[in-house]
Amino acid sequence: MRLAFSTLGLPATDPAEVLRLAEAHRYQGVELRCHAEEPVHPGITLVERADLAAAFAKAGVEILTIAGYAKMCAPGDDGPVLAEVRSLLALARDLGAPYVRVFPGAGSVPAVEADPTAVRRLTALAPYAADLGVRILLETHDSHRTGAGVARILDRVGHRSVGALWDVLHPWLGGEEPSDTLAALGEHLAYVQVKDVAGREDTAPLPLGAGALPLGEVLARLSESGWDGWLCWEYEKRWFPQAPALPGLLTPGREHLLQLLSYAA
């Protein structure tokens, strides 16, 4: 398995610094948070995109994902949501990233009632994603935190250009066992976000291995299934400013994941 980290754990950081951290701490990829307050967003120019892609390619660090915030289940017109995701897909294509992350985001609408909205939107977006060679990943998050909830949508979309991102926190919060999450997501699974927290009532980020999330079990189940994709550490310091800074944790985090993988092999 290959290892990446998310820039959500960093302040709005120049991509050159992100690259330096990836190289210094021996991560093969990065997940780029895509927001107007970040250096990387759909408003950057074609020249900026080309320069960024070239810098990452030269360093041998993969831009794994453009991590957007579009909500597939959100109430309202489809048009703005479709336009937002298309802009993220175009950015991913230009940067050489294979994935775009989106959220369910049903809000106050019951999840099952919101499923058709996501199915309709993702079905409309799938051919465009396929044309660009980018895959849309619906994350286990918020209104659809379990693998079963995400799979309900993806099974109905039924397109290879739409898949799943397994954030290990949310199915655990929803009471779903790792083996059940993996079974539900099945062929939809593109990669896995790892993290650690103290408990269900305290989700402030902790160094990997310092909390309660069953990371060893997750990796064991993945290994048993023969899955061999990316693991991306999402350290949510952006929402918890009191958390320790990410850079000093990157090497110990990588070593912890490698140790768990050796146990799981």
Tens of pLDDT, residue by residue over 217-258, are 999 999 999 999 999 999 999 999 999 999 999 999 999 999
Q: What are phi and psi of 4, to 5 degrees?
A: -135, 165
Q: What would the mean pLDDT of 257-263 be, rounded to a whole number? A: 94
Q: What would the mean pLDDT of 57-73 be, rounded to a whole number? A: 98
Instruction: Give pLDDT, residue 91.
Output: 98
Question: Which amino acid, residue 79?
Answer: G
- The count of C-alpha atoms lying within 13 angstroms of the C-alpha of 72, restricted to the half-sphere facing its C-beta, is 34
Domain 2-264: assigned CATH number: 3.20.20.150
Please give the angle made by the CA atoms of 126, 183 and 153, to the nearest 5 degrees. Answer: 30
Question: Which amino acid, residue 181?
Answer: T
What is the 3 state secondary structure string of 240-256?
CCCCCCCHHHHHHHHHH
